[in-house]
């Protein structure tokens, strides 16, 4: 990775001095190898699978805390911002690749190259922001794996305790599934994860569809619901909705292995629109059906009905299959660095992956509190990747032709970033202090 980044810097310095006339006609995608390339459909499935996971199950609970009218307004706002920033990120990465004759860039490299080609007085911090970006990405992906581990364990705990009359600590269920986690995180790359994504997406869509039928049975009156609650709950809603939508860290790795990378912005727009609408519908209907909803609304489904239990198991399997997709991103970031500085053989990558999942499992055992962890994770990590980093990339990439409207727009997004970061973190920490049993109670 270090050699690649050095080469990147050399390219940037060369082009900053004098851009050749044929830069605009350079096709970075034509230089990429066809090995392990995936279709638009496979890329779309990966995007949907990463974003449509446990986050949607938290929506009814967040609607309850925020009020259904305020929740819809906030969801639409975040959906538009997320779609805009994701498309801007991909487009800027493609601009930088074309201008600097580079085959592809990951997220951290996009940040670094954008700074190196931006205003001269900010180029000195290019490497620092690239390192910061990689740290944030690894933090997000590893933390999501911890949340998925907890979700799978808690869901199976509820089913097994009801049918088997067995009462065990949630930590035992976390450890029982450890061998399965190990198998999933050893899948080498995205291409071989496609079957898991397809089956996981099918399980999830079927489970969500059946859940909606439960929500629509004996449709209660809306008069008993709160349209608004209090302003304090809004940052928490925004962080959870960011978590539900989040797939931005997987976009550039997917672009780099797509047969038609120029189609990625279109896939982002379609998936974000679909996800936002589904989240709003699911959140509202779940809140309307179960006014006092649990942390994840699936727990509210009847325990004495086989179909409801199949939904819980199917959705849990879908979440389980997402572990491999989320785990591979930090591996692709960290392992090349380890190889560069230690010179170890690539065969040690298996050991590295196993040690990593073991540490994450230990973390899940140590802190089995799902909702507070989710809010804090989103506030600390996802606000940076979704709201802050795309702003920096766009300003540095387009600084020579930047207009006042560009700075005003990004200034507005930066204010939203600060508000969600500060108040979302405060609310999440407050929830952690007040609710120490969040994972095992409603």
Asked if residue 331 belongs to a domain, the reply is no
Asked if residue 292 belongs to a domain, the reply is yes
The band of 2, judged by pLDDT with boundaries at 50, 70 and 90, is: very low
**Mean predicted confidence (pLDDT) in 116-139:** 89
- How is residue 354 written in tokens? 């196993």
**Chain segment 353-412, per-residue pLDDT in tens:** 999 999 999 988 887 766 666 777 778 888 888 899 999 999 999 888 878 898 999 999
pTM of the complete model beyond 0.85: no
Asked if residue 196 belongs to a domain, the reply is yes
The band of 75, judged by pLDDT with boundaries at 50, 70 and 90, is: very high
Asked if residue 276 belongs to a domain, the reply is yes
Our CA angle for 323, 134, 85, nearest 5°, is: 85
Asked if residue 347 belongs to a domain, the reply is no
For 394, the domain range is 39-144+191-319+367-434
Asked if residue 242 belongs to a domain, the reply is yes
- Weakest-pLDDT range from 15-24, 351-360, 387-396, 431-440: 15-24
The band of 33, judged by pLDDT with boundaries at 50, 70 and 90, is: low
Q: Is the pLDDT of residue 6 over 60?
A: no
Mean pLDDT for all residues in the chain: 82
The band of 427, judged by pLDDT with boundaries at 50, 70 and 90, is: confident
Asked if residue 337 belongs to a domain, the reply is no
**Chain segment 184-214, per-residue pLDDT in tens:** 888 877 777 778 878 887 888 888 889 899 8
Say how many domains are in the chain.
1
Tell me which residue of 405, 374, 411 sits closest to 392, measured CA to CA: 411
Asked if residue 335 belongs to a domain, the reply is no
């Amino acid at each position: 990775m270090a050699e690649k980044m050095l080469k990147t810097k050399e390219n940037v310095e060369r082009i900053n001095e004098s851009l050749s006339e044929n830069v605009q006609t350079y096709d970075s995608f034509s230089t990429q190898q066809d090995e392990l390339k995936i279709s638009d459909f496979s890329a779309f499935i990966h995007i949907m699978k990463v974003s449509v996971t446990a986050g949607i199950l938290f929506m009814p609970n967040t609607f309850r805390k925020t009020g259904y009218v305020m929740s819809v307004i906030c969801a639409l706002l975040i959906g538009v911002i997320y779609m805009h920033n994701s498309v801007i990120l991909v487009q800027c990465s493609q601009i930088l690749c074309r201008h600097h004759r580079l085959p592809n860039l990951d997220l951290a490299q996009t940040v670094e190259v954008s700074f190196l080609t931006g205003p001269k007085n900010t180029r000195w911090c290019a490497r620092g922001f690239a390192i910061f970006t990689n740290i944030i990405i690894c933090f997000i992906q590893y933390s999501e794996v911890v949340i998925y581990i907890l979700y799978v364990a808690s869901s199976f705990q509820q089913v097994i305790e009801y049918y088997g009359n067995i009462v065990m600590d949630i930590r035992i269920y976390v450890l029982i599934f450890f061998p399965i986690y190990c198998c999933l995180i050893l899948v080498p790359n995205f291409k071989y994860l496609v079957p898991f994504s397809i089956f996981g997406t099918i399980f999830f869509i079927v489970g969500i569809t059946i859940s909606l039928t439960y929500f629509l049975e004996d449709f209660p009156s809306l008069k008993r619901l709160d349209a608004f609650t209090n302003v304090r709950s809004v940052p928490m809603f925004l962080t959870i909705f960011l978590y539900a939508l989040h797939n931005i860290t997987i976009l550039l790795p997917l672009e780099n292995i797509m047969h038609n990378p120029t189609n990625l912005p279109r896939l982002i727009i379609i998936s974000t629109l679909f996800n936002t609408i589904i989240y709003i519908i699911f959140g509202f209907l779940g809140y309307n059906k179960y006014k006092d909803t649990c942390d994840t609304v699936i727990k509210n489904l009847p325990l004495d009905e086989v179909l409801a239990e199949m939904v819980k198991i199917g959705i849990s399997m879908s979440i389980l299959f997402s572990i491999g997709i989320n785990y591979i991103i930090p591996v692709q970031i960290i392992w090349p660095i380890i190889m560069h500085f230690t010179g170890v053989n690539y065969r040690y990558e298996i050991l590295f992956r196993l040690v990593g999942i073991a540490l994450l499992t230990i973390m899940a055992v140590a802190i089995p509190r799902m909702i507070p962890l989710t809010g804090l994770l989103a506030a600390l990590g996802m606000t940076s990747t979704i709201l802050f980093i795309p702003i920096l990339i766009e300003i540095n990439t387009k600084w020579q032709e930047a207009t006042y409207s560009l700075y005003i727009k990004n200034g507005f997004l930066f204010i939203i970033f600060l508000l969600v970061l500060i108040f979302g973190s405060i609310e999440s920490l407050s929830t952690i202090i007040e609710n120490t049993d969040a994972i095992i109670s409603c």
